Chain A
Amino acid sequence: MGTLETMKDIFNNPNKIIEEWKKDGKKVVGHRCMYVPEEIIHAAGMLPYPTFGTPEPIKKADSYFQPCACEFVRNLFDLALDKKFGFLDSMVLCNTCDAVRHLYNMWDTYVDSVPCYMVNNPQKMYDESGFKFYRMELEKFKKLMEDLSGNKITDESLKKSIELYDETRRLLKELNDLRKRDIPAISGSEFLRTSMASMLMPKENANPLLRKLIDEVKNREIKNADGPRILLTGSIIDNPTLIELVEDMGGVVVVDDLCTSAKYFWYTTKPNNDPMDAIVRFNLERTLCACAHPSEDRYDYLQGLIREFNIDGIIYFNIKYCHPFVYESAIFRKKLEEEVPTLTLEVDHSLSGLGQLKTRVQAFIEML
């Protein structure tokens, strides 16, 4: 089996990772959103596990959340109510949107089996007073992780974790760079599976696999690469179906500004003797999420992607009621369209209504 297939297998069967990790009695900490520092969890000897949803329709969660709450969040809560996250020793959320704030409220109230914690991150970047506030919050979080694991987090262990996670980010970026070519080495859907598998795996296992994969695909060329080059952005996409839909319609997805892809690996930690300060600055010196201020920074980043990846068209996939991206797409649309055509689509996380989406994507690709 090639490494690309191995990654696909890990993506399809993440339970194997958990079983393997838990064999020695080690703990797993679930999390959602990018301001939860995985390095602190790892430095305590636990596995940080990014929680993703499923395309299943919502069942129990709809009697807790109103249907006007983000479907991804309702889906996560549905899985929690169904005890699908029963393997977690704790769940950690952060302050990224109103829906995630409510996920904390609901989880803390109604899910007894897995305790939930909220990291209170500022939403304003590049602000020294925000760094100080976040540092205090992270110190509390560090202590919580120490108590949960029974292990002391030292500066040395934290530095090692930072280096390990940065290496994953560097390798994913290196792999992603192979999509800059006229004929990319890896397709959008293949990349998403690989990126998500790498996020799920212990990084000690992910990094050698990524190195091997880069080696295997560096001279590869994907088929059907003569269509328009697409930048995907918007809400979280945790299933390759939407990317496959674009690819099936003739688009070549060459970069995806998603929580499950570029947002995860785009930046690495800056050298710093104080590892906690390094984490603080890593998270608060970048505006990658639409929730963060200032927005200009994120716009510049998107412009950079357009240039670097030679983009012909942008597609925003906004999950219904994902307010941060619904606003961003409305605010950025006019400016982005001065650079490249931009299509904004409202999608259901459960992937219903794919037929209609297909028609709109097809029309967009044909127009390009």
Chain B
Amino acid sequence: MATKVTAPGKKSLQTTLEIGKAIRAYYGGIKEAQKAGKPVIWSYGLVPREIFHAANAPVIYLEHLPLMIGAKQLSGHYIQIAEEEGFSRDVCAFHRCFLGCAVAKERDPYLEKFFAPPNLIIASNLPCMSESKSFLYAADHHDCPYYFLDAPINTWGKDIPEYAIEYFAGQLKGAIDSMEEHGFKVDMDKLKESINLTKKMMGLWNEIDNCRKTVPTPMSTVDGITAAYPLIQLPGTELGVTLFERLLEELKERVEKKQGVIEDEKLRLMWFGVPPFYNMGLFNYVEKYGAVVVKSMVEYIAGGAFDPSVMDPEKPLESLAYKALVDIVNPTYTNMVDFIVKAVEDFKIDGLIGVVKRSCGLLPGYMRLAKDAVYNGSGVPMTIFDLDGLDIREYDDVTSKANLDSFVESLLANKRRQ
């Protein structure tokens, strides 16, 4: 009998367990809402969800559902279904997985609990242009209306010009109009309130990050990835604020007690690329060396590196437009590379682990840029290897662990020489 090589990540914080429960409750609620006659939206993770909260709209996110499916090790099955529909293995595993879920004739009991067909699809090219069309297939399959929200790429760095903000704010307005046309009522006062709550959440997230910069770190990325969920799904909500307040409290207590994730923290690592959702235990694997994966880039998707002070509730769409366009994952490269360099310094990182999901058009392109910028800036090395974080069929446990072993051993050897 084959030994199971994958394992869930070991969380060490109470609040992240609560966040996990909130995720399941959110998705369970979508199906119930649809049964009660409420229309359901399908959208992408970087479409500002404050507009959805302002309409009390139940939303399924293309990136998030596959992640849950992946954590249950079911992704391979649904990806296979999409491939049978004609989608090449070259296209994003998240999109293939979602499309497989969308068109499957039969769904397993786990997915069935959360799956609700769309009444409206709001697609976008933020941040992945190439994948922006996959929802068309789902819209056709479910015979459902479709709105496309066009996001300009960021060629300006942090100074996004007014005309770009105006354009994307206009696109958001178009999305709102489309929602209203299809049975949703967007409450603009609630949207303003959402901006305030997002502002508060982002401020709390920055404080959480400051706690994580301490040595030893009170929280690894295993908790961090779950903790980032409210950034993706709950910005602009009271629940998001409450969860972050609790998390901050828990972390402050740990910092005060100098309580780290592991007893003797020797190395601090950062993960760049898609985490192995079907095997989050891989993050714990390096702990045997006294190494902790302190942060991962994915925690910053959806505004985790954002300065909340620029958000103005009186200009809700413009604020959301700025937040979306300046997001580190919106190409081109300047903000992403600057962010990685700064994060490596701030979190006192000893080594950067870059993983390449072969079917990703976006993140692999940053690997060499990040590696050079970090090494030239602080001398911190980066290893890069193949690892598809969603498609379990592509996973090679022995090679992945061997890559981690050799990198961590070389970092430790360097430390000993210093």
Contact = CB atoms under 8 A, between A and B. Distances in A.
B8 interface: no
Given A101-B332, A105-B332, A68 B356 contact: yes
A364 to B, nearest CB: 16
Nearest to B125: A123
A328 B134 CA distance: 9
B103 to A, nearest CB: 12
B361 A99 contact: yes
Contacts of A104: 332
Contact of A109 (B91, B362, B369): B369
A320 to B, nearest CB: 6
Contacts of B369: 105-106, 109
Classify chain B's interface size. 35 or more
Given A294-B148, A330-B85, A120 B137 contact: no
B133 A331 contact: yes
A318 B356 CA distance: 22
A109 B361 contact: no
B90 A323 contact: yes
B368 to A, nearest CB: 5
Interface stretch (A17-25, A124-132, A256-264): A124-132
Interface string B358-387: 111110111111001000000000000000
Given A98-B128, A98-B129, A133-B164, A326 B90 contact: yes
Interface in B100-141: 125, 128-134, 136-137, 140
Contact of A323 (B131, B150, B167, B372): B131
A63 B369 CA distance: 11
Contact of B364 (A68, A294, A329): A68
Classify chain A's interface size. 35 or more
Contacts of B331: 98, 101-102, 105
Contacts of B359: 68
Interface in A96-140: 96-99, 101-102, 104-106, 108-109, 118, 120, 122-124, 127, 129-130, 132-133, 136
Interface centre among A98, A127, A295, A334 (most CB of B within 10 A): A98
B91 A326 contact: yes
Contacts of B133: 290, 293, 295, 324, 327-328, 331
A69 B363 CA distance: 10
B88 interface: yes
A163 B133 CA distance: 34
Contacts of A129: 166-167, 170-171
A173 interface: no
Interface string B69-94: 00000000000000001111011100
A136 B152 CA distance: 12
A8 interface: no
Interface centre among B134, B140, B365 (most CB of A within 10 A): B365
A245 to B, nearest CB: 21
Contact of A293 (B148, B368, B372): B148
Contact of B360 (A68, A106, A130): A68
A142 to B, nearest CB: 15
A95 interface: yes
Interface in B212-229: none
A143 to B, nearest CB: 14
Contacts of B367: 66
A135 to B, nearest CB: 9
26 contacts: A64-B368, A65-B365, A65-B368, A66-B364, A68-B359, A95-B152, A97-B130, A98-B331, A105-B369, A108-B333, A109-B333, A118-B153, A120-B155, A123-B125, A123-B150, A133-B152, A136-B163, A290-B133, A293-B148, A295-B133, A323-B92, A323-B130, A326-B88, A327-B133, A330-B85, A331-B137
